[in-house]
Structure formats: C-alpha cells, structure tokens
Structure 1
Amino acid sequence: MSVRYGAVETAYIPNNDDEYIFEEHFRENSEKIEPTFHERTWWDVVVESFLIVYLLITAANNGMIMGYSAVLLPQLKAVNGSLHIDDEMGSWIASINSASIPVGALLSGIFMNYCGRKGALLIYAAMVALGWVFILSAHNCTVVLIGRFIGGIATSLGMVPGQVYIAEIAHQKKRGSYGSISFIGLSFGILLVYILGSVLQWRIVAGLSIILPIVSAVMLLYLPESPVWYIRKGKIDKAMKACLWFRRNYDEAEEEIDELINRVNREKIEREISTQSTLSILCSRQVIKPFIIMNTFIMFQSLSGVYLFVFYAVEIIDKIGDIGFNNFFVSVVTAAVRLLFTIIATILFAFVGRRPMALISLIGTFVAAFVLGTTLYFAENPNSYVLATCLLCYISANTIGLLILPGMMLGEIFPAKVRALSGSISFSMFSLFNFVFAKMYPLLIQYLRFYGLFWFFGASAFLGTIYIYVALPETKGKTLHEIEDYFMANNLFWITRNKSSKETQRLLS
C-alpha cells in the first residue's frame, strides 16, 4: 500500500497497532495549531531559545562532572578533611569517570533504540543526579569512586543521544550553530564547579550539582520525542504531531515527514541488497584513513594536557609556584578564560578553516607550555606575572582548537553508513587516552617534575603540529559527500594528495 504525502508517493509504514493514518487525519488535527507562516515566527524564537538553554544546561552537567575532581582532590588531601586520600587514590578519583565513559557510549545506543532519544536523555539526567547523590552521601573513598564512575557513564549516556536528538529536531539551517553550543556549555560547567568549589565544601558542591540535571529533565518533559525515532518505529501520526510542534507549519512539516519516510525506506532497501558487512565497511579505506587521523588527533589532544589540567587544575596551580593569588581563585580565572576562548573559537569557526585553527592552537600550546616549563626550571622564584601569563596563554591556546576540534570533526569526517559507530569508537578512544593519562599523573610528576610535565605538553603539541599539518584534511565548507570522496581517493596524507584528481579538485574548489 502507498500513500501520497504532498508531491511524494511513498510506501506507507504502519504503526505498532497496524492502523493506517491518512493525510486528511493530519490536516484535520493540524489546522487548529498551524499558523501558515513561511517566515520566522515567535514560535521559532521560543523553540530555538528553549533548545539553546537545554543544550547549555546538559553540556554544563558534563563540564561539572569533568571539573569536579580539580576542587575535590585538594579538599580530600587536606589534613582536616572529612575524608583523607593519598596521591594514588586521588589519581583514581580523577580518572575513573573517563574509564566508565565507554560503558555509557554502549548503553546510549541501546537506550536510544528502545526508549527513544527523549527517553535516553531522561535516563541520562537520572544517572547524573544519582552519581552526585553517591558523592554527597559518601563516607569512604569507595562510595566516591562509585559516584564518579556513574558520572562517567552519564557523561557519554547523554552526549550521544543529545547530539542525535538536536540534529533530528533542529531546523537544517540551525544545526551547525547548535553543535558549538555544547562546547560553550561544557566550559561553563567547568567554570561553575570551580567557582562553587572555591567557596564551598565538596559535599555541598555535590548537593548543588544535583539541581542542573533536575532542571534539564523538567525542560525535556516539555519537548516531544524525535520525529525520526517515531518514523523508524512506524508511528507516522506521532511523528507528524511532533514535527508540527517544532515547525508550526503544516506544509513544512509534511515535506519533512515525506523526506524521512523515503529515507527510512531507502535505508531498508539498501540493507537488503547490500553485500557488505559492517566489519568490511569499517576496514575500508574511506573509514580506516579518517579513523587513524582522528584518533591520532585525539591522542595529541590528551598528551598536550588539555583535560589533565581540567582534572587537576587547583593542584597543578599550587605546585608550579606562587602566582600571587589563592589557588582556587586562579583556577576559576583559568576556567573563565577557557569559556571566553570557547566562545571566540565558535565564532571563528564560521570564518576560519579547521586546519588553520588546529595549527594555531597546537603552535600556541607548544610555545606557552615550553616557556612555562623553562621558567619553572631555571627560575628559583619565578615572577608571578610571568607564571600567570604563561598559564593563561597555555589555556587560551589549547582551548581555541584542541579542546573543540576533535569533537566537531567526528560528525563530519566519517562516512554516513558507519558515522555513529565510528564516532562512538573514537569517543571511547578519547576516554581511554584521558583515563590512562590522568591515572599516570602522580607518576609523571614523580619522574618529570612540573617543569618536565609542561615540557612534555609542549613536545606533544609540537609533534601534533607536524602531524596535523601533514595529515589533517580541510573540511570547512565541504559537503559530507566531498569529504567521503577525498578519503576514497588514492592519497595517504593531505600534503601528498593528488591535486589533479577529480575528487580532490572538488574538495579544494
């Protein structure tokens, strides 16, 4: 059986009750709420504002989880603390949330499929709150570790469904801008937890951190489920109603539902006639090449100390010397600078290519880290202004590219067939690198000292600069098909690409 929606005739998909919903039913039920505007309306502004606030709050949850160890560890290591830990336990508390991220990444796909995007995000909010409850009520280090482990699961449990949900419900022209908001929210969450930790006891900080996931869950209750998920489950009527809620325009919603139905039908046909297994696609040139490039980029991101500083900010600031201010206050300043440069970076990405931003970030990180390490090595009592300037330059440089770019490029560099799977694997690799590096922190300090640690950051950024210059392709302004064509071409590195090939010419044009 087929049904005509608008100008497109498609194979009709029955809902779960095998009932068939016709176009007249949609028109009859949508006329009451459809203001037939094709221009931007007040409802568009309300929905967009609501989504932006929701995105900021959700990303801030993850930022608070990541940054909490920086304010927790100094308080737990204090002699008069309610719990006392050594460096070994501190490294576990800082790193264990990264170790649990792959678990959440695996569960997120299951929850998205069976519970929907909205259901998965509600589970995420509950998991975030549960992790904070464990920490709030902890009377020994084991319970703190459990809370941090749950928080790590929640981080990835919300990140993937959140990106998928926003991509599926946002207007096509707004999807790119929504992606950058998550990084701003992440930096804001780190700043917020640093501020709270600088003036409050760690249990109180954990208790206050429960507020954000509750607020995000309440906001989510007012949003419909993704129309894409409804279509894939055969619930065409609910998909139309959800789409009408977001678009408030029947013609636009009808066209979008047409496209979604056709896309799902095409995917089913392609799966039926395809002779390629998922494993064979993952092992193909067009996947292996971007996979190696992105995960090497992620490795240099970790080795350059981007997230290690987030995990141990207060402790590192305390050990590098007297900057002239309270260590907690300086950590708040570094987080504020990170937030500022995250906003600057999201603006610059609209005008500057990925490669220039990555190279500027890596070179800046190399210079700032090298100067800071050299200052710590040669100066017995280094000038506080020099230390503060080098430290803020280091934070600014790695934020403007290293912090943001790998996450941005994961959604555009892999082929559509395995984009979600490849992205999940790369995200798991990201968490593995951060776990190992954060766990090795006491060992690194023992053998390298703090001047050596920053030399290590600088050396990693320098090697990363060479690699990115040689291998990273420019993807700004290119379609996903053009990027796929580039990786299918016979080239190994970006600088040795065949500039005369048809695929490369199209990518360069």
Structure 2
Amino acid sequence: MAGKKTKRNRAYFNQLLAGIAMGISACGMTFAMNFPTFGVPSMEKDDSFSTSPDDLRLIGSIVPAGAMVGNFLAGMLVDNIGRKMTMMAGAVLCLIAYVLLACAPSVALALVSRAVSGVAASLAAIGGMIYTTEIVHPKVRDRIGSVSGILANLGMLIAFMSGSVVEWRGMAWIGVALSLPFFFILMYLQESPNYLIKKGRRDEARQVLLNYRESATEAIKEYEELLQATNKASKSTASPKDLFSAPYITPLLTCLILQIAQQLTGITGITNKAVTIFSMLGTSIDPAYCTVMIAIVSMITAVLTSEINARFERKPTLLVSTVFMAMAQVCVGFFLLAKSSGGPLGEWADANSILALGSVLFFYIAFGAGLGPMPWIYMGEGIPSKIRGPASAISMTLSMLSIFVVLQLFDPLIEYFGFHYCLMILAVASSSATFLALSIMLETKGKTVSQIDKHYLDLEKKRN
C-alpha cells in the first residue's frame, strides 16, 4: 500500500514539475510583455541611453514581432528535435536576450535583445503547451494547469513591482534570474511520449508513461491507446491542405478566433496604459500601486480559475466570463465619459472613482477566468495531434501579430475615439468574436489526447 502511494506521489510530482516548467516559461513571457509598462518610461528618463519616441514605441512592441519568428521555428522544431529540446532552446535564448538587454550600450542592441526574447518566449510557450498536454493526465490537468496561470500572472506582478523600484537594466537582470529555474527544471524532465512514439522510440515512451502515471495499469492502457492513435494518424500524414480542410479547419479556426477575441479586448494596450488609466480615473490611490493591484488580483483569479476549470465545462465558462468582461469595460468607459463631460455627471464620477477602480479590477478578473487562458487551454486540448505542431505555430503567430497591431494602433485609436468610446468598441468587438468561436468550438474538458484524435479521425473517415 505504501509503495502504491509513493508511486502515485512521484507520478504527481513529475506532472506538477512539468506544469511548473510551463508556468515559468509563461512567467517569462508575461514579464517580457509587461516590461514596457515601467521599462520604457525608465529608458526615456535614462540620460545615458539616447532614445526617440519611435525607438521607445518599437522597444515596447517588438517582442510580439520576434515571437512571430519563433512561432515558425517552433512549428518545425517540436516535431523534429522534440518538445523538451524546443523548450530548452527557448530557455537558452531567453538567458542570452536578457543579458544583452542588461548590457545594451545602444538602442540597436536593446531592440535585438527584445526581439530575441520574443523568439525565446515563443519557443518555450509552444513547446511547453504541447508538452504539458501530452504528459499531464486529464484528471489533474486543470489543477496543474492552474500553476501555469498563477506563474504567468506572477510574471506581470514581478514586472510591475520591480519596475516601480529599479531602472530598466535592473529589470533585465531580473529577467535573467527568471530564466535560470526554467533551464534547470527542463534538465530533469523527460521527453513527451507522443513525440517518442512518432520517432519509433517506443520503449522510452512506455517508460515515460510509467514514470508519469499513478499505476502501471494506467500507464500501459494509455500507451496502447496512444500507439493505436499514432499508427492511425501515421497512415494519414498531415499536409498543408489538411489544415484548411474539414474536419481540421474547425479546431484551427476556433483557436484563431479565440486569439483574435483575446486581443480585441485591448488587454495588452490597457495593461501598458494602466498607470495612465488610473490617473484619468482620479482615484485616491497612487496609480503605480493600482497596477500592482491588477497583478495581485490576476494571480488570485488564476488560483480560482483552477477550481472553475475543474468544475465547469470550457464553453459555459467562456460565455459567462465574456459577458462580465464586456460589462466591466462598458462601465469603465462610462466613468471616463462622465468624468470628461463635467457638470453634475462629472462630479458624480469624481465622487465615485472607487467604483471605476473596481470595474477595472473586475475586467481583469473576468478576463483571467475566460478569454485570458482559454485560447491556450484550447490550443493544448482541442487541436488534434495530426495538425498540432503547425496549427499551434499559426495560432501563436496570429496572437503575436494581433498584439503587435494592437500596440501600434492603440494610441491612434484613443486619440481618434477617446479612451471611453475605445473601451466600449473593444467590448463589442471581442464579445462578437468570442460568440463566433463558441458557435464552432468543441467541448474539450476531461478528454484525453487520444479521444480528441479519435474524434477528428472518425470525422475524416466519414468525409472520405
């Protein structure tokens, strides 16, 4: 009995460590994405570092551009050198990028380092998402997956807290420190059994499952299911045409629409402008502290989201959170509109600015429970193995392209429409895109990789 308990604990620890590795990579990505909130203003004030407004805008937005390059590389690498080695390449590049940034003597090198950090983040993220989906059992996936969400939001918190006390070079050295644990944990982890079977290394795949499952019976059963699914998939090799043909076009489209919907919320631009937003709302709390509150609330939401995902299906969770998120955006937009209008309405807005702060925080809570994690959850759970590598790369590329476009257009949109109307427009746009995704989205909660693969292989047979 004691031996079975030890085996179960060891298996859970191995899966948890995989989740932590994915979480640290997500932490690094959110740190890089939120670096501009305090890092760019710090660069602007640095007399020893000459920059122009265009330089600063590019430094803030070039990470997604680098990530787009990383997406294409990751799409090839995950199936050629493996999921683990793809993540390892990302870890090494991340270390190099932050050392370069910390020591950058010029804007040119700072831009290179930020672009490389985007490539690194993408390699780690795509490799990690595929890896955790394949190695973590569905019955513990929700709770272990919550570790990634918590650590991702920790990256935001670290960026905000460090940015409020150290200058931008100090933030870069903190980025180096965040990269080291990821590298060392990866050295302990074993390769994905799915990849090993595809490469004909069946004995290794079987041993990995024995190490990562609670019992030998469970491991052997999953090994046989995986072997059968892989053999079926190998008889029908994926081609570029398959990605855009039924039935595989549906999961790909779902993932792409979810990524667009996520960025149509304006989350990246809103976060980068958080200090400005809180200043406009006129809260009595220091705007810098308000940004830290956002990160703390997001971390708490990530913990609660693990329970939500464990109890409820994906589609209802996404629907409810989207409605609440849109309501929060409209409320903040109304407060800003009331404040700018002056008169009795403006006085009311000034007297109730704490409600506006609550609406902003509620927006982050709703985002963290739904559209924040859902594109990544669905990318891991809903895309069949046959197209997972290229589909994940395309999805991540669209995500990074969307972030890049949002960051470039956010200021012009605010100048044209005003912050208040901009928030309301984004609420309508993101909600519409989410409802479209929900109309074609497959429910994936509790389903194994083999079950998802079988579902689409059966649909493919019916079509043929």
TM-score by length of 1: 0.78
Contact 1:75 1:81 in 2 (8 A): no
Matches within 5 A, 1:443-462: 443-462=412-431
User: What is the aligned counterpart of 1:364 among 318, 324, 346?
Assistant: 324
Shift of 1:334: 0.7
What amino acid sits opposite 2:418 in the alignment?
R
User: What is the aligned counterpart of 2:268 among 290, 307, 326?
Assistant: 307
Give CA deviations for 1:288-325 in whole Å, capped at 9, x if unaligned: 3443343233222211112222344334434x243222
User: What is the aligned counterpart of 1:61 among 5, 28, 36?
Assistant: 28
Matches within 5 A, 1:418-497: 418-464=387-433, 467=436, 472=441, 474-476=443-445, 480=452, 484=456
The answer to whether the aligner puts 1:411 opposite 2:372 as a matched pair is no
User: What is the aligned counterpart of 1:211 among 145, 169, 177?
Assistant: 177
User: What is the match of residue 312 of structure 2?
Assistant: 352
SS at match of 1:350: helix
Structure 2 Cα separation of the partners of residues 429 and 240 of structure 1: 35
Shift of 1:42: 4.0
The answer to whether the aligner puts 1:401 opposite 2:373 as a matched pair is no
Give CA deviations for 1:360-399 in whole Å, capped at 9, x if unaligned: 2222222221221222122246433133122112222222
Percentage identity across aligned positions? Answer: 25
User: What is the aligned counterpart of 2:149 among 170, 183, 205?
Assistant: 183
User: What is the aligned counterpart of 1:280 among 230, 233, 241?
Assistant: 241
Q: 1:264 to 1:321 in 2, by over 3 A?
A: closer
Q: 1:240 to 1:48 in 2, by over 3 A?
A: closer
User: What is the match of residue 18 of structure 2?
Assistant: 51
What amino acid sits opposite 1:74 in the alignment?
P
Higher helix content, 1 or 2: 2
The answer to whether the aligner puts 1:126 opposite 2:92 as a matched pair is yes
Contact 1:240 1:254 in 2 (8 A): yes
Contact 2:74 2:393 in 1 (8 A): no
Structure possessing the higher radius of gyration over alpha carbons: 1
What amino acid sits opposite 2:239 in the alignment?
T
User: What is the match of residue 499 of structure 1?
Assistant: none
Shift of 1:331: 0.7
What amino acid sits opposite 2:331 in the alignment?
V
Matches within 5 A, 1:383-398: 383=350, 384-398=353-367
The answer to whether the aligner puts 1:115 opposite 2:115 as a matched pair is no
Which has the higher mean CA deviation after the structures are superposed, 247-256 or 117-126? 247-256
> Which one has more relative contact order, counting CA pairs under 8 Å at least 6 apart?
2
Shift of 1:264: 4.6
Contact 1:289 1:487 in 2 (8 A): no
TM-score by length of 2: 0.85
Q: 1:325 to 1:141 in 2, by over 3 A?
A: farther
What RMSD over aligned residues (CA atoms) do the two structures have, in Å?
Answer: 3.3
Matches within 5 A, 1:204-283: 204-236=170-202, 238-239=204-205, 242-246=208-212, 263-268=229-234, 270-271=235-236, 278-283=239-244
Which has the higher mean CA deviation after the structures are superposed, 291-300 or 254-263? 254-263
Q: 1:304 to 1:169 in 2, by over 3 A?
A: closer
Q: 1:47 to 1:435 in 2, by over 3 A?
A: same
How many residues matched? Answer: 449
Which has the higher mean CA deviation after the structures are superposed, 301-310 or 109-118? 109-118
Structure 1 Cα separation of the partners of residues 138 and 442 of structure 2: 24
Structure 1 Cα separation of the partners of residues 19 and 48 of structure 2: 39
Give CA deviations for 1:63-90 in whole Å, capped at 9, x if unaligned: 2112111121222334x55435454333
SS at match of 1:199: coil
Contact 1:337 1:395 in 2 (8 A): yes
Give CA deviations for 1:248-272 in whole Å, capped at 9, x if unaligned: 976666665555555554444x14x
Give CA deviations for 1:453-490 in whole Å, capped at 9, x if unaligned: 32232332443465456555544456536864998899
Give CA deviations for 1:224-249 in whole Å, capped at 9, x if unaligned: 33344444434455445545544597
User: What is the match of residue 340 of structure 1?
Assistant: 300
The answer to whether the aligner puts 1:373 opposite 2:326 as a matched pair is no
Unaligned 5+ runs, structure 1: 1-34, 491-509
Q: 1:371 to 1:43 in 2, by over 3 A?
A: closer
Q: 1:67 to 1:222 in 2, by over 3 A?
A: same
What amino acid sits opposite 2:171 in the alignment?
V
Q: 1:219 to 1:413 in 2, by over 3 A?
A: closer
Structure 1 Cα separation of the partners of residues 393 and 310 of structure 2: 26
The answer to whether the aligner puts 1:166 opposite 2:143 as a matched pair is no
SS at match of 2:401: helix
Structure 2 Cα separation of the partners of residues 192 and 60 of structure 1: 9
Q: 1:437 to 1:111 in 2, by over 3 A?
A: same
Q: 1:487 to 1:362 in 2, by over 3 A?
A: farther
Structure 2 Cα separation of the partners of residues 476 and 373 of structure 1: 35
What amino acid sits opposite 2:264 in the alignment?
L
Structure 2 Cα separation of the partners of residues 473 and 243 of structure 1: 27
Q: 1:195 to 1:285 in 2, by over 3 A?
A: same
The answer to whether the aligner puts 1:323 opposite 2:323 as a matched pair is no
Which has the higher mean CA deviation after the structures are superposed, 162-171 or 251-260? 251-260
User: What is the aligned counterpart of 1:298 among 243, 259, 262?
Assistant: 259
SS at match of 1:393: helix
Which has the higher mean CA deviation after the structures are superposed, 115-124 or 335-344? 115-124
